[in-house]
Amino acid sequence: MSETLSNLSREERRFEPPADLAAAANVKEDAYERAASDREAFWAEAAERLDWGTKWDQVLDWSNAPFAKWFVGGTLNAAVNCVDRHVDAGNGDKVAIHWVGEPEGDARDITYADLQAEVSRAANALTDLGVAKGDRVAIYMPMIPEVVVSMLACARLGAPHTVVFGGFSADALASRVTDCGAKVIITADGGYRRGSASALKPAVDEAVAKVGDLVEKVVVVRRTGQDVEWDDSRDVWWHDVVGAASPEHEAEMHDSEHPLYVMYTSGTTGQPKGILHTTGGYLTGTSYTHWSVFDLKDDDVYWCTADVGWVTGHSYMVYGPLANGATQVMYEGTPDSPHRGRWWEICEKYGVTIFYTAPTAIRTFMKWGDDIPAKFDLSKIRVLGSVGESINPEAYVWYRKTIGGAGSGGREVPVVDTWWQTETGQIMISPLPGVTAGKPGSAMKALPGIEVDVVNDEAESVGNGNGGYLVIREPWPAMLRTIWGDDQRFKDTYWSRWEGLYFAGDGAKLDEDGDIWLLGRVDDVMNVSGHRLSTTEIESALVSHPKVAEAAVVGASDDTTGQAVCAFVILRETAGDGGADIVEELRKHVQKEIGAIAKPRQIMVVPELPKTRSGKIMRRLLKDIAEHREVGDVTTLADSTVMDLIKGKEGAGA
């Protein structure tokens, strides 16, 4: 990657911040300047957003780099910051969560006062079950309010939680429980997805059987009422233990560096890593960025559609928004249950003003057609966010127009493309909606207080107009502290490539204005006849064709060119089967958009793509198909049947 990536997209659209939003924005232009002149003072000011038991005496201790300590000597309680202090400030009646179950009509509003009582009860119940400060608790639950209550109860006690995505198998759960040594698992009998009740408890039983005596108690929320196996010595019902507990709980102040949670990365590239986040810095980073990037106001209704089993569900559904005292929507099910307008119906009903989702969802809605969101009143929406992978320019423009096109006076609203990782804990690169212009497909610039750069193999800045490796130059508050139980792996994985630089694994380029375009993981960069091509740009070229909704590109080994571009595409429903010449049409389209070098050798039209729970395409599995290999590990796929669907198409359309 030392040389510039060969293909540079020709995206030239640019959208300035709306004047009224800019005038009232939480964060103004000067924040960049202030942060650059004294980064620690800037983050210390952000930390003042929180309530501290004891104030810190040192903002950052970086003497034992790369092991950071933020707000050294300070104490606080994350649950108190997310709940109690809002009640104490007189906002107990404010809705914290408009919870919407998948079955229609199954909804609940939870105020901050309700949340305080529930979290306190759960903290008391967990204490009675033997959970003490420092013990680990695994949480394997559907998207129901109890998952938030469980996380906050753990945080209150100082018992780090590890939330495992409810779609993962018993094996995946068992390996995470073992790795972090969890003695209690909180789960549910099941949850609703795609129109029916799916079971969770059997996977817990299977996982517990695998891990030996480690797990002492399993707490089960009754959600669906389905039959469950029961072990009296180990299993307890949530409604029994939490229901009977006192709603009063005295919270202890924990050290700023006390572990808050361990989150296993989604495993797009390989063996999951237990990313450790601690308390003071994490809460500072997430609450500040949630407030600044989404320009959060007191009367906003915010909705982040991420599953809680992903880091986005931690930072931008639980800790960031609740620390900010926001009102938010939480939805249990899938976007198409019972109809494909469900999300928009929810936006209309609750008057959602800030909406945060992933490109994969946006492309799915593009595939389904514009007439679906058009049936609903989305006029309250004022900021749209995207996270998880690069947003293809076409998907960005569609999102702005179709979902955000009903702003006041029919105006389109800003889209913030937010780049960050499980490891970074907080958003790192994103426009600020009232300050930064938006360019479709670009995450624009590092937030105030964040120092990123794009470098070559020698760690030299590549400068504007060039591509290279995305690195972070200075520590930031919500940064990971280590990999759970493996400091060496932490150093090797993130800090060993270049002295003093955090390497994130992603490629990026700077345009002539110095704005940042994420180009996907460097492992995915293809080398075709000596040209380095980014998967992201070819995928975006494919998605810019009116018949295409989604595309995934991999480099497959090729005798003549080294690697050849292989593409997998999902068509928009309006395109039918695409017509007899669809493959040729798309190959030509890529040639026209980028150049002959990027023209795919092979294009397969497929019904689905393999994705992780955060909606990322698992290219390594597609590469297995393109290179005619046995398909590798599929345990972190959101839907493991997808590979069979794709393999069924193999040979067709190539």
Output the smallest distance, CB 560 to ligand ATP, in A.
30
Q: Which of residues 434-493 bind ligand ATP (CB under 6 A)?
A: 443
Asked whether residue 545 is marked as a ligand-binding residue, the answer is: yes
614 near ligand ATP (CB under 6 A):
yes
Contacts of 402 (CB under 8 A, 6+ apart): 365, 370, 373, 374
Q: Binding ligand ATP by CB under 6 A: which of 438, 505, 610, 615?
A: 505
Output the smallest distance, CB 293 to ligand ATP, in A.
11
Classify residue 473 as exposed, middle or buried by CB count within 10 Å of its CB (0-12, 13-18, 19+).
Answer: middle
Output the smallest distance, CB 506 to ligand ATP, in A.
5
Closest-CA residue to 7 (of 600, 455, 597, 601): 597
Asked whether residue 419 is marked as a ligand-binding residue, the answer is: yes
Q: Binding ligand ATP by CB under 6 A: which of 127, 421, 456, 561?
A: 421
Q: Binding ligand ATP by CB under 6 A: which of 269, 379, 456, 493?
A: 269
Q: Binding ligand ATP by CB under 6 A: which of 79, 219, 504, 625?
A: 504
Closest-CA residue to 443 (of 359, 517, 383): 517
Output the smallest distance, CB 523 to ligand ATP, in A.
9
Closest-CA residue to 165 (of 480, 422, 427, 504): 422
268 near ligand ATP (CB under 6 A):
yes
DSSP state of 447: P
518 near ligand ATP (CB under 6 A):
yes
Q: Binding ligand ATP by CB under 6 A: which of 66, 167, 190, 267?
A: 267
Asked whether residue 529 is marked as a ligand-binding residue, the answer is: yes
Asked whether residue 99 is marked as a ligand-binding residue, the answer is: no
Query: What is the number of other CB atoms lying within 10 angstroms of the CB of residue 231?
Result: 9
Output the smallest distance, CB 236 to ligand ATP, in A.
32
Q: Binding ligand ATP by CB under 6 A: which of 102, 179, 255, 506?
A: 506
43 near ligand ATP (CB under 6 A):
no
Cα separation, 338 vs 415, in Å, equals 28
CA gyration radius, the chain: 24
Asked whether residue 114 is marked as a ligand-binding residue, the answer is: no
Which one, 43 or 356, has the nearer CB to ligand ATP? 356
Read out DSSP for 313-331? HIIIIIIHHHHTT-EEEEE
Which one, 279 or 424, has the nearer CB to ligand ATP? 424
Q: Binding ligand ATP by CB under 6 A: which of 327, 390, 392, 466?
A: 390
Cα separation, 569 vs 557, in Å, equals 20
Output the smallest distance, CB 424 to ligand ATP, in A.
8
Asked whether residue 196 is marked as a ligand-binding residue, the answer is: yes
| CB crowding 603-618: b at 16 or more within 10 Å, else e | bbbbebbbbbbbbbbb
Contact string (CB under 6 A) for ligand ATP, positions 425-444, x = contact: ------------------x-
Asked whether residue 364 is marked as a ligand-binding residue, the answer is: no
Asked whether residue 130 is marked as a ligand-binding residue, the answer is: no
539 near ligand ATP (CB under 6 A):
no
Count interface residues toward ligand ATP (CB under 6 A): 25
Cα separation, 563 vs 78, in Å, equals 49
Read out DSSP for 529-582? TTEEE-HHHHHHHHHTSTTEEEEEEEEEEETTTEEEEEEEEEE-GGGTT--TTH
Asked whether residue 249 is marked as a ligand-binding residue, the answer is: no
Q: Residues 400, 415: contact at Cβ < 8 Å?
A: yes
Q: Binding ligand ATP by CB under 6 A: which of 6, 265, 426, 436?
A: 265
Part of the chain binding ligand ATP (CB under 6 A), chosen from 115-123, 131-139, 297-305, 415-423 = 415-423
Question: Is 293 strand, coil or helix?
Answer: helix
Q: Residues 128, 244: contact at Cβ < 8 Å?
A: no
362 near ligand ATP (CB under 6 A):
no
Which one, 349 or 620, has the nearer CB to ligand ATP? 620
Closest-CA residue to 475 (of 31, 71, 66, 74): 66
Contact string (CB under 6 A) for ligand ATP, positions 281-320, x = contact: ------------------------------x---------
Output the smallest distance, CB 256 to ligand ATP, in A.
24
Q: Which stretch of DSSP H or E encloses residue 261?
A: strand 259-264
Asked whether residue 641 is marked as a ligand-binding residue, the answer is: no
Q: Binding ligand ATP by CB under 6 A: which of 99, 419, 490, 494?
A: 419
Which one, 388 or 449, has the nearer CB to ligand ATP? 388
Query: What angle, rounded to 10 degrees, do the helices at 642-649 and 619-626 form?
Result: 30
Contacts of 224 (CB under 8 A, 6+ apart): 188, 189, 190, 191, 192, 197, 199
Pairing mode, strands 301-304 and 327-331: parallel
Which one, 124 or 315, has the nearer CB to ligand ATP? 315
Amino acid symbol at 647? K
Classify residue 458 as exposed, middle or buried by CB count within 10 Å of its CB (0-12, 13-18, 19+).
Answer: exposed
Read out DSSP for 109-143? EEEHHHHHHHHHHHHHHHHHTT--TT-EEEEE--S
Is the Cα dihedral 40, 43, 48, 54 positive or negative? negative
Give the total residue count for the chain.
Answer: 654
DSSP state of 317: I
Asked whether residue 232 is marked as a ligand-binding residue, the answer is: no
Q: Binding ligand ATP by CB under 6 A: which of 120, 256, 418, 426?
A: 418
Which one, 320 or 505, has the nearer CB to ligand ATP? 505
616 near ligand ATP (CB under 6 A):
yes
Which one, 219 or 311, has the nearer CB to ligand ATP? 311
Which one, 177 or 516, has the nearer CB to ligand ATP? 516
User: What percent helix, strand, coil does the chain show, rounded to 5?
Assistant: 30, 25, 45
Part of the chain binding ligand ATP (CB under 6 A), chosen from 3-11, 298-306, 330-338, 608-616 = 608-616
Part of the chain binding ligand ATP (CB under 6 A), chosen from 238-246, 395-403, 414-422, 561-569 = 414-422
Binding residue numbers for Mg(2+):
543, 545, 548
Binding residue numbers for CoA:
193-196, 312, 529
Binding residue numbers for ATP:
417-422, 506, 521, 532
Q: Which residues of the shown chain bind ligand ATP in the complex (CB under 6 A)?
A: 265-269, 272, 311, 387-390, 417-419, 421-422, 443, 504-506, 518, 521, 612, 614, 616
